[in-house]
């Protein structure tokens, strides 16, 4: 039987240790029926992309609160492209100033969730934007 569960990698890059948001989101996505892999803290872009490749995920959620997003996110996107993982939906959550949103979207981030986003909005966004990756069209 085909596994219909959406597979998500929740990753915490950079030096920051504030993992409350990442953990709450991981659990919310799991409760919404998705398969969630949480990387733990201090993952480099290389570690994140290699985990995404190995786990064959359709979605990567990056949680960044420290202000390092402009250094980290473009590197993750580059590595995804190098590995031809064009179909992976990349989301960024955390403290992201408005002025950085455009440049992050330009490098390929599908959505940025700032403080106060409801967990449900994230679930809905993933369900309506995730690329097929083996999910029969009828179920989309």
Partner 1 sequence: MENKASKPQVAEPIADVFENRRPSEAEKKWAEKTLAPTLEKNPERPIGAPTGVNVNDLGHACFTTISGVPIRRLYTRADLPEDWSEEKYLAYPGQPPYTRGIHATGYRGKLYTMRQFSGFASPEETNRRYKYLLEHGGGGLSVAFDLPTLMGYDSDHAASEGEVGKCGVAIDSLQDMEILFSGIDLEKTTVSMTINSPASVLWAMYLVVAEKQGADWKKISGTIQNDILKEYIAQKEYIYPPAPSMRLVIDTFEFGSKFTPRFNTISISGYHIREAGSTALQELAFTLYDGVEYVEWARRRGLEVDEFGPRLSFFFNAHNDFFEEIAKYRAARKIWSRVMKDRFGAKNQRTWLMRFHTQTAGVSLPAQQPMNNIARVALQALAAVLGGTQSLHCDSYDEALALPTEEAARIALRTQQIIAYESGVTQTVDPLGGSYFLENLTLQMEKNAFDYFAKLDAMGGMVKAIERGYPQKEIAESAYQYQRAVEAGEKIIVGVNDFTIEEEPPQILYIDESVARQQSAKLKALRGQRSNDEVRRTLDALKKAAAQEPRGGTNGNISPVNTMPYLVDAVRAYATVGEICEALREIYGTYTETSIT
Stretch that binds partner 1, among 53-61, 78-86, 94-102, 128-136 (CB under 8 A): 94-102
CB of 97 or CB of 134, closer to partner 1: 97
> Is residue 66 within the footprint of partner 1 (CB under 8 A)?
yes
Token reading at 8: 């998500």
- Please calculate the CA angle 72-112-132 and round it to the nearest 5 degrees: 95
CA distance 35 to 122: 15
* Contact of 54 with 83, CB cutoff 8 Å: no
Interface with partner 1 in residues 3-32 (CB under 8 A): 10, 14-20, 23-24, 26-28, 30
> Is residue 40 within the footprint of partner 1 (CB under 8 A)?
yes
Query: How are strands ordered across the β-sheet holding 89-94?
Result: 35-38, 7-11, 59-64, 89-94, 111-113
> Is residue 133 within the footprint of partner 1 (CB under 8 A)?
no
Q: Which of 99, 136, 137, 139 binds partner 1 (CB under 8 A)?
A: 99
Place of tokens 């490098």: 107
> Is residue 72 within the footprint of partner 1 (CB under 8 A)?
yes
Q: CB of residue 136 vs partner 1: minimum separation in angstroms?
A: 29
Token reading at 71: 């250094």
Token reading at 63: 């949680």
Residues forming the site for partner 1 (CB under 8 A): 10, 14-20, 23-24, 26-28, 30, 36, 38-41, 66-72, 95, 97-99, 114-116, 118-120
């Amino acid at each position: 039987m085909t596994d219909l569960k959406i597979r998500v990698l929740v990753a915490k890059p950079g030096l920051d240790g504030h993992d409350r948001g990442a953990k709450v989101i991981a659990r919310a996505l799991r409760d919404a029926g998705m398969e969630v892999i949480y990387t733990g803290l201090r993952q480099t872009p290389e570690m994140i992309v290699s985990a995404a490749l190995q786990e064959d995920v359709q979605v990567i959620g990056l949680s960044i609160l420290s202000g390092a997003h402009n250094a980290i996110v473009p590197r993750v996107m580059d590595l995804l492209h190098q590995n031809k993982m064009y179909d992976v939906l990349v989301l960024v959550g955390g403290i992201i100033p408005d002025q950085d949103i455009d440049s992050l979207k330009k490098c390929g981030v599908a959505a940025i969730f700032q403080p106060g986003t409801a967990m449900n909005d994230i679930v809905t966004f993933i369900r309506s934007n995730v690329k097929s990756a083996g999910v029969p069209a009828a179920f989309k």
